[in-house]
Structure 1
Amino acid sequence: MFKTFLVFILIIPALWAETVTADIAPVNGSRIRLHETPGGIVPELPGSYARTEEGFPMLPQFPWTVKLPTGSGAVSISSEESWETIALSIYIPPLSEPLPLIIEQALIVTAENSNVYLSDAYWPAEPVELTGTGYQSGCPVAEIMVTPLRWNPATGELQRLSSLEVNIETAPLETRPLPSLDSEFRRMLIVTDASFESAFNDLAERRNSQGILTEVFTMTEVYASASGRDNAEKLRNFVKDYYTANGLDFLLLGGDTDAVPFRYAYAMTCEYGLAREDSLPCDLYFSDLDGTWDANNNDIFGEVADNVDLYPDIFVGRAPVENVSEAQTFVANIAAYEDCIQDDHLQRVLFLAEVLWTNPYTNSGDSKDYIDEHFLPDFLDITKLYQALGNENLATTMTALNAGQNFINHDGHAWYSCMGVGDDYMYIPDVDAVNSGGRFGASIYSIGCWSTAFDFDAIAEHFLTNPNGGTVGFIGNSSYGWGSPGNPLYGYSDALDHLYHDYLYSDWSLTNAELLALTKEYFIPYSHWENVYRWHQYDVNLLGDPSLRAYRISPSSITVDCPDIVNVNTSLIPIQVSGVNPAGLTVCVHDQGSNWDVTVLDASGAFTFVLESPVTGDVKVTVTGPGVRRTTVDIPQATGPDPVISQLIIDDDMEYGQLSPGCSSDLQITLLNQGTENLTNVELVIDAITGPATVNQNSSLFGAINAGNESTGTPYISLDVNTTAVNGDVITLQGDIQSVQGDWDISISLLLYAPGLYFTTYSVNDSTSGNANGIPDPGETFDLTASIANVGMLNAASVSCIMTGYPGDVTWLTDSVYVDSIPQGGTETFTFVCSLDPGTPSPSFPWLFFDIISETADYESPDSLRLTVGETGISNDVESGTAGWTHSGTLDLWNISTADSHSPDHSWHCGDSEGYHPNMDCSLLSPEMILAPDALLSFWAAFDVAIYGSDGMYVIVNDLTVSSSDTLDYIGSGGALGRDFHGIGTEWCEWSYDLSTWGTGNTIQVEFRFCSDSDSDTGPGFFVDDISVQGAYTGSLGISPQPPIIPILGLPSPNPASGLFSVPVNIPQQGDWNLALYDISGRLVLTMTGRSPFADTVEMDVSHLSSGIYFLR
């Protein structure tokens, strides 16, 4: 439903306190409905809610928060307002006693409050009430209640606010938001029943050994140390205290609801009629730790009035185990999955798609195909069982599950006892019978109703407690899922489903809980009202370990080199990881005592752990990370010599103290014998090198090294680094340490340090010799300011940027710019002065090529940007008439309205004073526009339509260049599996869509098409405002310069990419070409070569690369 007001904040500083002023601008009175009831007129305002005072007039009010300065709290509030009359001589009945939403009661006549009903004055006397200070994402906010209507019982006159300004006095705040101790390490807390403690201790040990500090507490311990009105609140308060004292990332609720409590949360009334359906089992209650979730103290948790900010502070999952055997199975299945006891199924995906409705026909297979085409890499083996294809039934589903699947995506009907699979249903005994030979999957994502209703014996639970097959995670609904009849791509549950799978292969480092939290977080701006978006915040839950990271691909094996033994003298544990790109892998070292340490590797794969205490027992080294098999090496206690490198000093002729391109360096190596026996005649010999360098001196002599002593070798190992080396390259020296007592293999990996300078964005200032619109136009002279970032590992000194290639209609008045330095991780701007010929095409998009040069490490790199000349796109706030927009269609009601707007007074509205009508099919069409590079469509919309049915708006791009149309989105009605009720919407929210796939220079039109079904249940409809299509001022990073006008390298597509991407290459000159892909550190990760002349599209496969930013050169 609609939120009623927009808030604009001005903070005014004072000496000891501050006054925060908020201008609250009401919407037009046409949004107010006067509902006739047997008792009188009840005003209704979407987004507002009945007050709570029994016997007082039933006027709506809504909660609002206003951000306050850090460290302050609200102490008082005053307001200045104006009113306008909207009704005369009406009677507003008194509010009855609030009742729990799930209890049906007979109508009770409530007595009027005589102080109000016998007075000749407006009530309430003040429109705002300060209820306290709270926190949203750690920031203090004033919590206020606004009553936007007032009524005079004597005259019956009803007025609404036409303007409102609140002044909030603040003072230093004694309390603080829930703080989290900054921790160097990730932490997990497991709470469980005492009978399950042993099983979950095994999981805690597993997590500790991979670098996640984990503790287990029993519920007996929790209840003894925390207060609260019930067990769920006691648990939440315990978690908050732990979070504050220790820091916390993950919480595993280690038990079903009889063992570990849960909370029902209220999002909205869905109007189906079951007593439990609107009470949503919601583990977000233990994740979003701000506030109490019951700000109005009515024991209904999660209401809009409770000021739940919805943002997760920690990541939560639940182990739905009911007995010791299930707890042991839950933990054992996780170990089997992570250790890859079976791994031939980890690239398999199973899609299960029903026809959700036959009228209108809704084939959820369309939604699965969309996920396949847009979000999943090509290397996956996807099995598609679709009812529409005739191949989805219980038998085919069981066959696929028994084969083993890593990810399962279920788009169909469900209940807590079953899941729809075509014309059949899969029941709990079927899940219990799955036997995949230990090929456990990472997760199931189901949009079906009630599949994860964990307050029942839900079918989702059985996937996690089957010792022979199933999955280690399940994401699903604790009540209804929501679709859109006739729109299989655009149901509300489908929206989350799509975004989850987008994130799944966009960032391989995310755990199951982080993926779900990130997905839901995207929709929080849409969820601050009673609507289906808010429903999903509470309704969609994770069963499973929140810290488990799913394999996205069959994992690679790695090699871990470390000492052969440990003993009483051991103080260093050097490790070297190879076999894959080690950057980003996590290594944890711990013994059976107090030694525990963790690090994240860089591209060298090398790290030396310094132990804080003498070694107790054996030492374990565990390596984990995206795309690699979890690997553990045991280092036993033993006696004998143990030589390790204790110090390596790089003495380079450039005096950076690091290897860099073109340098000559001596490596001063010190060996420590941390064993129990002496070493004699020690020599280090390098016999192989990989990377861009050559070895000049390959051996060092150390003499005798007694146990516990060190020795520095001479002569020093020396090497020369190639001038072609780049930032992030790795040089690895392979050899051995030789002595009379034995030989030890050794590997020394060293990173190359250099600047990494790349163009990021540009801006235009044409105020001196142009029309001051910030756009370069033909005939103008303007300042072009380019930003250059240093993403390398060395500061860049004496940096020049020199234009080298550009079209003939571009003239440079300043073509070379110099800055003193760009620090590592920093950005500097370079302002050129450019003039465009009056005959320059407009719009046009010329490439400008330039060299970036630094004296540091003799750095030089070509780069480029693509300039946008002339007007492109569109920007329309609907304040200047139609501005070229047109509309037509069946029952066309598109019009410019003052009934509601985002800014300032007007918007497009598809409806009349009564809202929209049945059987509409009409479109609002933009003027034609030309797309700039990386164009983005954005607009603001507010809407209120029936919950069920198919009333909604399609967002469409019409490509006039190739005469095609594509639907970007559907916004509107849905259905909880096909029922018929009312009332969904949001107040003003922003929607945005990437248009880069339509190509630079293409001509398009944006279309908003509204359609309604034949049902008479309607609403106010859609309001659209502040429509924009704008390009991004960015270029292709690292493009080699070529003659003017001929862009040799186009933009990669798709971008982002998860599998294959293609890039146009056009090289007219004869010779050899090399196409190289670098990661953000500047390390070369992929290359292709060929012969020119060449003009074609080149495809590169990046499916094996970790997610992140890469540069194409």
Structure 2
Amino acid sequence: MLSSAILAVVLCASPAAGADTAVVCPREFREALAPWLAHRRQQGHQIVMLSNLGSPDEVRASIRRVAAGGNLRFLLLVGDADPELYSVAAVRRRSVPAHYSKAVVNVQFGSTREIATDNWYADLDEDRVPDIAVGRLPCDSASELSQLVEKILAYERSADFGAWRRRVHFVAGLGGFGAVADAVLESAAKSLICEGVPSAYSTTMTYGSWRSPYCPDPRDFRRVTLSRLNEGSLFWVYIGHGQPHAVDEVLVPGGRYPILTCDDAARLACRNGAPIACFLACYSGAYDLPRDCLAEEMLRAPGGPVAVLCGSRVTLPYSMSVMGSELLGQAFGEQPRTLGEMFLEGKRRMVADEEPGAYRQALEAAARLMSPTKDQLSAEREEHLDLFNLLGDPLLRVSFPGRLELDANESIAAGETLTVSGTSPLAGRGEIELVVGRGRLTFRPPLRQRFNAETLRDYAETYRQANTPQLCIRRVSLERGAFSTQVTVPREARGPCHVRIFVEGTDGCAAGGIDVVVERESREALKNKRDDAAGE
């Protein structure tokens, strides 16, 4: 425990006028927050502490007074939004209330008439668009807060520079909107993953459709989902239906099997890096309910994710797809330093008045044809600014690997040797892989037109193969600076592929990737054949 003198210095070190970070925190939690405050101030942040005891309007007014200084960039809310705060004094003292905005679009699909949101606190000019990065640590006690702070500091101080930093795990439920709509949504999700995640990163897919090669044995789906969470990754993303205390189930003829529930939080034990989790789903982030939601339970689990992006009420496929696209663009394109800035800019771009890219244009076209809210798409996107919240620290520094630039020929014939060159920002152990292009398989999967329970024992191996895109792997030792190495392309390789490399050093890691097309024969051989045919 910190002495009262040290604690006073930590809490009062900077005036509000120059603050770039405001923290709304109950007085009884401030000692537990002190290690976080010291860590952030050591990083150069100027922090002001604000009271949680006023009404939501009074709390926002205090935030705006700090923002008037011109430097405010981050807002951390410390405490749950327990609905008993309005009737029980002890609960009020340890809580920070959520704001409730009026639901207009999603209420047509069974949502409540109001949306619990923290976005409102981050809107400084009444246009609904956030101006600062906001996140919440939804703790009910000082001990819970201490655990969250410990997890955040351990994440940022981790000296584990292993391959978890380049992994992205996706878990998806079945849409259930009808055959045509489900096909469109599945295609959109595939495009999002294939085009949104750079080739330098490895991905897995766990899909709750028994027809898919990415579906493990449905009876084992829950265990596989937990296993993906526990093996550690940069991001873990769920796409599908959700409820406050569980996500969807895997449905097969004659059976249904859970994917993830609140009861599973106790089984979370990330072995390496705690992931940043994202639920593109309804209600999984309903943090204002009497019973804690799935996102809260996972966040507070000692072995759970370090932060969760989630929706508090009914969320809709079109806007969730836009949100996912913009978040991936920030994560793997702009790469702002903190999670809060990544989430902030993703939200702002979601409603920005600018020409969308090809993926967004395709989403817009599909939504205007098929969405029941096709005449309210702009309003739907704006509503999702309020629906999605960050449960976690907005100042969290995301553990991206460093960037490693690669160069290689655009095409190569199967069986030939490919020369790969680049520049490594650090010395370390390296692994260079030739993998099939994202969304492709190395084998011909079984065709599952009819469900057959007797074949379930084969699902695990098909799932393993579907998530093993490697055609060849070579381990190398690299020095800092320029390098050149070679990869022998297997004779059976064909089509669009990626060459990717990951380097793990003593004080960092780096990843790089480049696209390569593997042809049956070299272009020179094909040209010679054409010349010979023309000469006959």
Same fold, TM exceeding 0.5? yes
Task: Note the alpha carbon deviations across 1:45-89, whole angstroms, 9 max, x for none.
Answer: xxxxxxxxxxxxxxxxxxxxxxxxxxxxxxxxxxxxxxxxxxxxx
- Secondary structure of the 1:268 match is coil
Match of 2:235 in 1: 407
CA distance in 2, matches of 1:342, 1:1106: 15
2:168 to 333, 349, 353: 349
Structure 1 CA distance for aligned equivalents of residues 166 and 249 of structure 2: 22
For 2:247, the equivalent position in structure 1 comes to: 419
Alignment match, 1:481: 315
The one-character-per-residue Cα deviations of 1:142-191 (angstroms, maximum 9, x if unpaired) are xxxxxxxxxxxxxxxxxxxxxxxxxxxxxxxxxxxxxxx996xx721211
Deviation at 1:433, TM superposition (A): 2.1
Match of 1:204 among 30, 37, 40: 37
Equivalenced residue count is: 358
Match of 1:313 in 2: 131
Cα separation, 2, equivalents of 1:241 and 1:233: 12
How many angstroms does 1:1088 deviate by?
8.0
Aligned partners of 2:50 and 2:62 also within 8 Å: no
Equivalent of 1:398 in 226, 232, 249: 226
Q: How do 1:660-809 and structure 2 match up within 5 A? A: none
Q: Are 1:378 and 2:378 an aligned pair? A: no
* Structure 2 counterparts to residues 186-225 of structure 1, below 5 A: 187-220=20-53, 223=54
**1:334 aligned partner:** 152
Q: CA deviation at 1:219?
A: 2.3
Q: CA deviation at 1:313?
A: 2.3
Q: Which has the larger radius of gyration?
A: 1
The structure-2 alpha-carbon separation of the partners of 1:371 and 1:267, relative to structure 1 and needing over 3 Å to count, comes to same
Higher relative contact order (CA 8 A, sep 6+): 2
Give the Cα separation in 1 of the matches to 2:235 and 2:175: 21
Matched with 2:273 is 439
Q: Does residue 1:543 correspond to 2:391, yes or no?
A: yes
1:512 maps to 2:339:
yes
* CA contact 2:200–2:511 (8 Å) conserved in 1: no
Helix, strand or coil for the counterpart of 2:399?
coil
Q: CA deviation at 1:548?
A: 0.9
Aligned residue for 2:80, secondary structure, equals: coil
Worse-matched range after superposition: 384-393 or 331-340: 384-393
Amino acid at match of 1:313: D
Change (3 A) 1:418 1:244: same
User: How many percent of aligned residue pairs carry the same amino acid?
Assistant: 22
Matched, 1:553 2:381: no
Q: Distance in 1 between matches of 2:150 and 2:400?
A: 20
Partner of 2:113: 278
Task: Tell me by how many angstroms 1:383 deviates.
Answer: 1.9
In the alignment, structure 1 segments of 5+ residues that lack a partner are 1-180, 224-230, 291-307, 484-490, 557-578, 582-1084, 1090-1098, 1108-1113
Alpha carbons 2:105, 2:380 under 8 Å: kept: no
SS for the counterpart of 2:227 is helix
| Pair 398,529 (structure 1): closer, same or farther in 2 beyond 3 Å | closer
- What does residue 495 of structure 1 align with? 322
Q: CA separation of 1:243/1:326 partners in 2, compared to 1, >3 Å: closer, same or farther? A: same
Q: 1:182 to 1:328 in 2, by over 3 A?
A: closer
Match of 2:79 among 255, 259, 275: 255
Question: Structure 1 CA distance, aligned partners of 2:197 and 2:105?
Answer: 36
Cα distance change, pair 368–329 in 1 and its aligned pair in 2 (3 A) = farther
**2:59 aligns to what?**
235
Gaps of 5+ in 2: 1-15, 83-94, 252-257, 354-374, 405-423, 427-480, 486-497, 503-508, 513-536
Structure 2: how far apart are the matches of 1:239 and 1:377?
A: 38
What is the CA-CA distance between 1:444 and the residue it aligns to? 1.4
Give the corresponding residue for 1:568.
none
1:1012-1071 Cα offsets, whole Å, 9 max, x none, are xxxxxxxxxxxxxxxxxxxxxxxxxxxxxxxxxxxxxxxxxxxxxxxxxxxxxxxxxxxx
Q: Is the 8 A contact 1:474 1:542 kept in 2?
A: yes
| Residue deviations 1:398-438 (CA, integer Å, cap 9, x gap) | 12122222201111110111112534241111123211246
Q: What SS class does the counterpart of residue 219 from structure 1 fall into?
A: coil
Identify the residue that residue 264 of structure 1 maps to in structure 2: 100
What is the TM-score when the length of structure 2 is the normalising length? 0.60
Residue type of the alignment partner of 1:436: C
Alignment match of 1:464 (pick from 276, 289, 299)? 299
Looking at structure 1, the residues matched to 230 and 377 of structure 2 have their Cα atoms a distance apart, in angstroms, of 43
Does the CA-based 8 Å contact 1:204-1:215 persist in structure 2? Answer: no
CA distance in 2, matches of 1:322, 1:401: 25
Q: Is the 8 A contact 1:353 1:368 kept in 2?
A: no
Q: Which amino acid aligns with 2:142?
A: V
**What does the per-residue CA deviation read over 1:774-809, in whole Å, with 9 as the maximum and x for residues that have no partner?**
xxxxxxxxxxxxxxxxxxxxxxxxxxxxxxxxxxxx
CA drift at 1:249: 0.9
Give the corresponding residue for 1:772.
none
Structure with higher helix content: 2
Partner Cα distance (1:554, 1:458) in 2: 35
Q: How is 1:84-233 mapped onto 2 (pairs within 5 angstroms)? A: 187-220=20-53, 223=54, 231-233=55-57
| Larger strand proportion of the pair | 1
Deviation at 1:370, TM superposition (A): 2.1
Residue 208 of structure 1 aligns with an amino acid whose one-letter code is R
Q: CA deviation at 1:217?
A: 3.5
1:482–1:354 distance in 2 versus 1, CA, 3 Å: same
Distance in 1 (CA, whole Å) between partners of 2:228 and 2:109 is: 37
Secondary structure of residue in 2 paired with 1:322: coil
Question: Which amino acid letter does the alignment assign opposite residue 58 of structure 2?
Answer: K
Partner of 1:289 in structure 2? 124
C-alpha contact 1:267 1:538 (8 A) present in aligned 2: no
CA apart distance, 1:213: 1.9
The answer to whether the Cα contact below 8 Å between 2:173 and 2:241 also exists between their aligned partners in 1 is yes
Root-mean-square deviation (Å): 3.5
- What do the CA deviations read for 1:488-528 (whole angstroms, capped 9, x no partner)? xxx32112112211221112334222122212212325799
Question: 5 Å matches for 1:886-905?
Answer: none
Letter matched to residue 546 of structure 1: P
2:329 is matched by which residue type in structure 1?
A: D
Verify the 8 A CA contact 1:347 1:554 in the aligned structure 2: no
- Paired with 1:1106 and 1:311, the residues of 2 have a C-alpha distance of 34
Deviation at 1:371, TM superposition (A): 3.0
The answer as to whether partners of 1:352 and 1:384 remain within 8 angstroms in 2 is yes
The SS at the match of 2:175 is strand
* Maintained 8 Å contact 1:280/1:539: yes
Matched, 1:524 2:345: no
TM-score by length of 1: 0.30
* Match of residue 788 from structure 1: none
Q: For 1:1101 and 1:399, how far apart are their aligned partners in 2? A: 24
Distance 1:182 1:1105, change over 3 A: farther
Equivalent residues of 1:452, 1:476 under 8 A apart: yes
Equivalent position SS for 2:21: strand
CA 1:481–1:455 in 2, change beyond 3 Å: closer, same or farther? Answer: same
Residue of structure 2 in register with 1:105 after alignment: none
In the alignment, the residues of structure 2 paired with residue 407 and residue 475 of structure 1 have an alpha-carbon distance, to the nearest angstrom, of: 11
Q: Deviations over 1:567-599 (max 9, x none)?
A: xxxxxxxxxxxx958xxxxxxxxxxxxxxxxxx
The structure-2 alpha-carbon separation of the partners of 1:381 and 1:273, relative to structure 1 and needing over 3 Å to count, comes to closer
The correspondence of residues 1009-1020 of structure 1 with structure 2, limited to 5 A, is: none
Partner of 1:549: helix, strand, or coil?
coil
